[in-house]
Structure formats: structure tokens, C-alpha cells
Structure 1
């Protein structure tokens, strides 16, 4: 490993963060808007939508380790990971348009189209996001510098998230008044082009500094065996799975909660989503200070416990007024903004720990495996959203829903995410890569010393 101590500039942190902003155009819209689009605009039933999310997202997750291994074996004058930002950014933009298109097909053909378009978008997302996420571990290995990098990343990422969530409905209504299907297609086309430019900026402003141990050939099974020896990665897998289940269930149901429980329209829906973005930014900026003050492991435990408790407040708030719910929503997303940099800093630490433990640096596979688990959480969370709505009798595309369906939205929006957040907090208590431990590991790696030699 080389260049372990070189400091990174704010310009590079900004450029790196723009890459995640581009990714979040797709990720956040998939979490917060796509379920609503498929049921209320595209016309799929909640059960079909939930099954679609599960099948396609699990398939997508399976491709992650393959892409990770490919990225690890990439050789170019730009490094292993940066070239993919250049190659995939245009197909990534095209995929955004295709998913948010509503062809005039019969119901069966519409389902087939939805599956194929969604598969294409998820493959493009994987092909560009796995190298992007791996790039963070190739820029720096210093624990505090990495936490700073991740804090910048998650402070900037909500810009893309706002495009895919808070801005898409107002822009769609502005572009095509009374025709939200056409408006959303054009809006995502515009955001896709912006995302393409963000990835190009990330490519131009970042540099890979960490040189891995050279392997002669790509061997996915070998890399997976090496990965499974990393006990800290296994703990993070439970943590990531539970956290994303909670995030996706609540995020997917936000539109339904505001519309059917709070009885508010698209203007207030967009305000809630914009608050998600702004609160996440401030939370991300606070993450480094909190992680330094009380240890990022302890901070993550408390953030997730508080996320569970604060989220349950929605269950007891009066529904005739939307402002109390709005305030609670802001607090909850401040907490989630803190959580994201802590999460990815720990993922990078686990990657360095894996190199120290096994004498092999498989950054692409390590990141891909974490994203595999994250996407599995997204798949399960999305499926639970659709199946839960179907269980409580939600009718796709209907302005008026039964009292049972509205009660179901409230239960799914509050209780289910709280359970997942508590599981997240419990699991990370067993993670043991503290800052002192990581400083020792980085010290060993600087001297090319490994666990068996320490």
C-alpha cells in the first residue's frame, strides 16, 4: 500500500461527493418515488410492484460482486475505478429516462417493460456505483481523512437525492401540466444529464493513491473466500441489511403517509422530501465531530436507537396538522444524515482491516459485497412496502383509500422501520474497529506488516 499519509484537498472531496450526488438521483428516487410512480402513475398493483422490486433488486445485487471483481482487475492510466465513471455515465443517464417512461402497452407487456427497463437501470447503476464507492477507499486510507471524505460525500449527495425526490414532481407538473407521466419522464431525462456531468467532474478531480497487492488474474471465488475471512465485514453485513430495510420502508412510504395519513398534496410532499435533503446535509456535516468525540461505533448505536424512537412519534402525532409531523421528519433525517458517513467510514475501515488480516487488498470486491447487502436490504424493504400495502388493501391509483389501508400505511411507516433500526443498533455493538485499533492497523500497513506478522 502506498500514499497512506498524503492529505486530500477540499476540491477533491467536493469532486468525489458529486459522484455520489449523481448516484443518489437513481438511488433516492428508487427508494422514495418509484413505488408511487409504479402504483399511482404506471398502474401496477402493490403486490406486483413489491415482487418486481424484490426480483430485480436481488438480481441486481448478485451482479455486484462480479462488477467488484472486474473493477479490481481494471488496469488503466487513470487507475482501477475512475475509468468506469467515464464509460458508464451516458448509459446511466439513458436508463433514468427508460425507467420513468409509460409505454401504451397492455398490462402484461407493461409489466415486462417495467422489468426490463428497471433491470437495465440497475445494471448501469451497479456498473458505475461499485467503482465509485470503491474509489473512496483508493483515495485515502487515513481513518480521519476518510471520515472527512465520507462526510463531504454525504453532505453533497443529497443534491442528487433532491432531484430524484423533492424536485421531480414539481418539475414534472411544470413541464407537462396535467400529464405527470410525461412530465416525470422529461424531468428524469434532465436529471440524468446532470448526473452524467457530475460523474465526469468526479472523474476529473479525483486521484487513486492506494496501490493494492498485485494479483495475476481475476478470480471471483478466490476473492470471495478472502472476503469471508473478514469477520468485521460479516458484522457490517447484518448492520447494513437491517439499516437499509428501515430506510427503504420509511422512504418508500413517505409519499403515501403525507398524502393519505396527513391528507396533503404534492406541494407538501415535495416540502417533506426537500426537508429530507437539507436535514441529511446538516447531519452529514456533524458526523465527523460526533464520531471523533464519542467513537463512531458508539455514535452509530445511539443514532439508530434514536431513529427508532423518533420514528415511532409519527404513530401518536395528530394527523389533522402536518407541521408536527414535518418537525419530527426533520429530526429523523438529521439523525440519518449522521448515520451515513459513519456507515461508509466503517466500511472503508473493514476493507483496510481485511488487507491487514489476509495480506490481500480486494477493495472492489469488499465494496461490492457491502453494496450487495445494501441492495438486498433495498430489495427486502421495497418488497415489504408493496406486500404490506397489498395486505392492508391499498388500491393502486385511487385518490381515496379505505380506513384499513390508511391505518396500514401508518403502521408500515412507523413500527416496521423502528424494528429494523433497533436491529441495526444491536448488531454494530459487536464491531470492534475503533479508531485506536485502526491507527495500529494503518501503522502496520505502512510498514507492510500484517496480522500474522504483528
Structure 2
């Protein structure tokens, strides 16, 4: 990797963050709204919806590494990753409309359409999001600059998240007061166009500075083998999978929790969704300061333990008044907002460490593998949501649910995410890329040096403090 450390301007950080805001229109709506859309508006049985989320995401096991390898091998005057923002932004916008469309088909036809539309959206998200996420590692290699870049990213990303969650239902009802299905289609069409513009701004304002030390021909299996040699990536895979399962289960069930546990309508649901966005912004802005006070690994451990404990408070909060639950929800999402920049900063560190260890820089493959793990977490979380609702007797399209189904919503919303957050905290304890160690790695890479056998015990000493 050849480049000297360079201060990244706020303009570039803002432009970079807008790319993730565009991605989060799809990602956040998939987490928080799509399950509700498929069961209560589209009319899919919960078990079918859960299976759909899991089965379609299996496709990512093939497409993610292919896209990562293609991005790594892309050569253009704009770099390796930026061109894909320009190429895919329009199909990305189209996919937003198609997945929220409700064709007048029989049940089998509706399931087939849902599968095809969801596959198309997943492919477009893969084709644009993997190059986008790889772009961060191509902008800077400095650990502190990277954490700052990721903090800006996750402070801006909730803008897109708000479109896909908090704003979609009010806008849908405003556009089509008597037909929420049509309103949601129009709303996602508008947000898709906005996301397209955001990707274009990201393309125009960012610059790739980091290039591989040596170039090699496209070989996906070789790159997969190189990736698997990265022990720190393997640890992050467990961490990312568990975290996303927790995030998705709680996020998917938020609408159900507010409607059936707190007995509130779409107005309060939108307030909870908007609070998710605003709280995440505050958390992201705080992450850089926290990273200056303590090691990011220790910070992530405590944030996930605290997230598990705070989430369990919903079990004992009063349900006849929604304000206490609202305040706990805000605090919980501030914690999650802090965690996101730390998570992606560690992903970038693991990419640099992998180059230092293997003498191959496979940024696209590294990011693709991490995104696949994250999307697998989304799929498993979505599947567990659907299967869990079905197990407790939840009925699609029925306003009045049984007492067992309502109790099931509460259990799934609280206990299941807490388990995943604790697994997340335990897994990251084994991650060893502290800032001090990463400074050595980055310094070596700038000088064209790589790991030697004598450096392994020093770098990866399990007794080293975190």
C-alpha cells in the first residue's frame, strides 16, 4: 500500500457519508419496515416471510465475493470503487420501487414476485454497497483519520435510515390516505431518487488514495483463501454476525412492539423510528471522542453488554404509557450509534492487517466478506423474527392478535437481542488489533514491509492488554 497519511477534508467526509445514507434507505427499511410490509400490507404469512429473508440472502454467498473481486480488479481514471457508484445508482433506485410494489396476484404469484423483487434489490445493493464500503479503506489508511471518516459516515447515514423507516409511513399516508400500499410504493420511489443523487455526490466529492503494493489477475478462490488466513477477520465475522442478528430482531419487531405492546398507532411508530435515527447520529458523533479515551475493543465490549441489559428493561417498563419505553429506546440507539463507527473502523484495520500478513491487499473481497456476514445476520435476524412470530401464533393482516402472540412479540423484542449482544461482546474480546498494533502495521505498509515470523508473537500476544 503506497501513500502518506493525509488529512481528509470535511467536504470529503460529508460526501463519503452521503453514500452510506443512500445505502441505509434500503438497509434500514429491510431491518425495520420490510417485515411489517410483507405481513401486514403485502399479506405474506410470517413463516413465509422469514424463510424468504433467509433463502434469498443465501444468494449473497455467491454474489458478494464475486462483486468484491470484481471491484478489486476494476481499473479506471476514477479508481477501483468509485465508478460503481455511478454505474449502479439508477438500478438501485428502481429496485427500491419494485420491492415495495403490491401486484394483484394470487398467493403463489405474490410469493414469486416478492422473491424476484427482493433478489433484484439484494443484487443492486451488493453491486453498489460493496464498492462503497471498500472506498473508505481506499481514502485513508491512518487509524484516527479512518475512525473520523467512519464517525462522519455513521452520523450522516441515519438520514437515509429515516427515509426508509421513520418517514415512509407518514409520507405514504400523505400521498395516498386510503391506500397505504400505493403510498409506500410512491414514497420509496421518491427516496430511491434521493438515494441516487446521494451516490452521485459521493462519487464526485471523494478520492481514492490507497493502491495495492502489487496487482494480480482476478482469481476469486485465491482471494478467498487469502482472506481466510486473516485470523482477525475470522473473529470479526462472529462479532458482525451476532451483532446484526440482535439489531435486526429488535429493529424488525419495533413496529410490532409499539403497536401491540404499547397500543400506539402509526404516529408514535414514526416517532420511535425517527428517534432511532437521531439517537444514532448522536452516538456516531460521540464515537470518535470515545475512541480517544479508551481502546475501541474495550469500548465495543461494554457497549454491547450495556445494550443487552438496557434492552431487557422493556420487560418491566409500564405499557399503558409509551414515554418510558421511548426514552429507553433513545438511549439504546445512542449506544448502537456509538458501536457502528467502531465496528467499521475495526473492519478497515483487519483489511490493513490482512495485507500486512499475506502481502495481498484484497479490500473489495474483505469488505464483500464482511458485508456478506452482515447480510447473513440480517437474514437470520429476519428469519428468526418471522419464525418466532409464527411460533407464537401471529396472524398476518389481522389487527387484533391473540394474547400469546402479543406476549411473543415482547419476548422476541427483548430476550433474543440480549442474547446476541452478549455473544457479540464475548467474541470481540479475542480481537487484538489495538491502535498501537495498527500503527505498527500501517507504518510497515507505508514502507513496503510485511509481517515476518519473529513479529507474530509480538503482534498477536494473547496476554497483551486491550
Fold agreement, TM-score > 0.5: yes
2:226 maps to which residue? 226
Q: CA offsets, 1:53-110, max 9 Å, x none?
A: 0001221343111100000000000000000000000000000000000000111000
1:361 maps to which residue? 361
CA contact (8 A) 2:2 2:448 kept: no
1:15 maps to which residue? 15
Q: How many angstroms does 1:305 deviate by?
A: 0.2
Cα distance in 1 between the residues matched to 2:123 and 2:396 = 28
CA contact (8 A) 2:74 2:81 kept: yes
CA contact (8 A) 2:18 2:157 kept: yes
Q: How many angstroms does 1:194 deviate by?
A: 0.1
Cα distance in 2 between the residues matched to 1:224 and 1:158 = 32
**Are 1:73 and 2:73 matched, yes or no?**
yes
Cα distance in 2 between the residues matched to 1:74 and 1:376 = 26
2:308 maps to which residue? 308
Cα distance in 2 between the residues matched to 1:310 and 1:436 = 32
Q: CA offsets, 1:284-320, max 9 Å, x none?
A: 0000111121110000000000000000000111111
Cα distance in 2 between the residues matched to 1:147 and 1:377 = 23
1:281-360 equivalences under 5 Å are 281-360=281-360
**Are 1:390 and 2:390 matched, yes or no?**
yes
Gap runs ≥5 in structure 2? 456-466
CA contact (8 A) 2:162 2:277 kept: yes
Gap runs ≥5 in structure 1? none
CA contact (8 A) 2:227 2:366 kept: yes
1:43 maps to which residue? 43
Cα distance in 2 between the residues matched to 1:149 and 1:341 = 9
**Are 1:242 and 2:253 matched, yes or no?**
no
CA contact (8 A) 1:62 1:372 kept: no
CA 1:61–1:267 in structure 2 vs 1: closer, same or farther (change >3 Å)?
farther
1:8-407 equivalences under 5 Å are 8-407=8-407
Q: How many angstroms does 1:352 deviate by?
A: 0.3
2:5 maps to which residue? 5
CA contact (8 A) 2:2 2:445 kept: no
| SS at 2:247 equivalent | helix
CA contact (8 A) 1:61 1:375 kept: no
**Are 1:425 and 2:425 matched, yes or no?**
yes
| SS at 1:451 equivalent | coil
Cα distance in 2 between the residues matched to 1:321 and 1:291 = 37
Q: CA offsets, 1:30-74, max 9 Å, x none?
A: 000000000000000000000000001221343111100000000
Cα distance in 1 between the residues matched to 2:441 and 2:372 = 26
Cα distance in 2 between the residues matched to 1:2 and 1:193 = 37
How many pairs were matched up? 454
Q: CA offsets, 1:174-205, max 9 Å, x none?
A: 00002000000000000000000000000000
Q: CA offsets, 1:369-426, max 9 Å, x none?
A: 1011111111100000000000000000111000000000000000000000000000
2:461 maps to which residue? none
Cα distance in 2 between the residues matched to 1:287 and 1:109 = 46
| SS at 1:361 equivalent | coil
| SS at 2:178 equivalent | coil
Q: CA offsets, 1:320-348, max 9 Å, x none?
A: 11000000000000000000000000000
Cα distance in 2 between the residues matched to 1:163 and 1:279 = 15
Cα distance in 2 between the residues matched to 1:62 and 1:245 = 21
TM-score by length of 1: 0.99
Cα distance in 2 between the residues matched to 1:61 and 1:263 = 40
Runs of 4+ in 1 over 2 A off after TM superposition: 213-216
1:410 maps to which residue? 410
Cα distance in 1 between the residues matched to 2:67 and 2:443 = 30
CA contact (8 A) 2:88 2:127 kept: yes
Q: How many angstroms does 1:7 deviate by?
A: 1.2
